[in-house]
Amino acid sequence: MASSSVPMCAACHRQSASLRLCGQCKLAYFCDSVCQRKIWKGHKPVCLAASNPCVDMKKTEFCGNGLFATRAFCRGELIVVEKAQFISKQELADKNALTQLGYELTPTNGHELLACNGPIMSLLNHACVPNARVKREAGLYRKLYARQDIAAGDEICTMYDSIRDDGDEECTTPEARIMKRLQLMTRFGLDCKCKDCILDKSLETLEID
Ligand SMILES: C[S@@+](CC[C@H](N)C(=O)[O-])C[C@H]1O[C@@H](n2cnc3c(N)ncnc32)[C@H](O)[C@@H]1O
């Protein structure tokens, strides 16, 4: 049976402790340069997104720091690949509900550890109409994909506490956003200040006045 702790060649799937780690992305293992060459076409975007993420941390207007694109991305494009971080169940218990959100149980070496976003993806803020989504891969990696075209300088946001597994939830109407705000407030005490919610709230105030 395959063991999750022994490296696996990304090309031929052979497991061995003596595989070589890709020197550029430091994520994928290969038997040798023959295996590396075999899947280079498929590995290249992952390698680039991991070794040279075109994103930057910047202060947002209402949500603390956020993750921003430093170049344009097309819909469906891979933006960042990042190794998950691991913590124990006990460490997780000390965190608040919102911080617990990005964690998933991953049995590693017979111990139960929890995988969470790495330092880059921990910067992702929530948006009710997100332009990106995170895909979890076997607990070990997180891949951030563009859900729509993203311009250089745009903030990259995802949907928190998504009700859909494919990460394709979006709240495009003010009514849907009211429900989402209620969900985030009830579960995490989070008062959503994404750009659509800020606009909804300002229009509500105008109507009252
Ligand atoms: C995973 S962190 C995101 C990065 C964070 N903004 C920072 O400065 O490190 C989650 C925190 O960001 C803030 N946040 C994220 N999305 C938000 C939103 N739509 N409205 C208000 N605050 C948000 C909240 O304070 C939340 O606890």
Task: Please state, in angstroms and rounded to a whole number, the distance separating the CA atoms of residues 48 and 173.
Answer: 36
Q: Which of 59, 60, 63, 170 to mutate to test the pocket of ligand 1 (most atoms within 8 A of CB)?
A: 63
Residues having CB within 6 Å of any atom of ligand 1: 63-66, 98, 122-123, 125-126, 190, 192-194
User: What does the domain layout of the chain look like in residue ranges?
Assistant: 1-51, 52-165
Kindly report the number of other CB atoms within 10 A of residue 44's CB atom. Answer: 12
Q: Where are the beta strands (DSSP E) in 22-127?
A: 29-30, 55-59, 65-69, 78-83, 85-88, 104-108, 111-116, 125-126
Confidence at residue 2, expressed as pLDDT on a 0 to 100 scale: 47
CATH 2.40.50.140 for the 52-165 domain, yes or no: no
Burial classification of residue 115, based on how many CB atoms lie within 10 Å of its CB (0-12 exposed, 13-18 middle, 19 or more buried): buried
Q: Is 0.80 topped by the overall pTM?
A: yes
Parallel, antiparallel or unpaired: strands 155-158 and 125-126 = parallel
187-206 per-position pLDDT tens digit:
889 999 999 999 999 888 76
Q: Hey, whose CA ends up nearest to atom 10 of ligand 1?
A: 125
Tell me if 86 sits within 8 A of 126, measured CB to CB.
no
Confidence at residue 119, expressed as pLDDT on a 0 to 100 scale: 84
Q: Hey, whose CA ends up nearest to atom 23 of ligand 1?
A: 63
Mean pLDDT by 10 residues, the chain (209 residues): 72 94 89 93 87 92 95 96 81 73 60 76 94 84 94 96 82 96 92 96 74
Q: Hey, whose CA ends up nearest to atom 15 of ligand 1?
A: 125
Prediction ipTM score:
0.99
